[in-house]
């Protein structure tokens, strides 16, 4: 029976956490203005890669 009780408590806890997260998100959405859409961001890694330098002559 204790295994069933622990499983039930875990399910209940996950439901409470989900409901709380939804409520917090709704309140924050009302109170915090939406951020403007970001302008075109550079590709992942930041700036474009530098051109390769010529190889030194042996």
Q: What is the mean pLDDT of the chain?
A: 82
Q: Which contacts of 50-57 are long-range, i.e. CB under 8 A and separated by 24 or more positions? A: none
Per-residue confidence at 21, pLDDT binned at 50, 70, 90? very high
Is residue 7 included in any domain, yes or no? yes
Specify the number of domains making up the chain.
1
Is residue 22 included in any domain, yes or no? yes
Mean pLDDT of all residues in 32-47: 68
Is residue 58 included in any domain, yes or no? no
Residue 15 reports pLDDT greater than 90: yes
User: Structure tokens of 33?
Assistant: 């203005």
Distance CA 24, CA 26 (A): 5
Is residue 26 included in any domain, yes or no? yes
* Host domain of residue 7: 1-32
**pTM for this one?**
0.50
End-to-end CA distance of the chain: 79
* Residue 14: Cβ within 10 Å count: 10
Q: What is the DSSP letter of 40?
A: -
């Amino acid at each position: 029976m204790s295994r069933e009780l622990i499983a039930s408590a875990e399910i209940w806890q996950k439901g409470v956490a989900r409901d709380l997260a939804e409520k917090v998100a709704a309140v924050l959405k009302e109170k915090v203005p939406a951020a403007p859409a970001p302008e075109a961001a550079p590709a992942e890694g930041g700036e474009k890669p530098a051109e390769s330098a010529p190889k030194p002559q042996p």
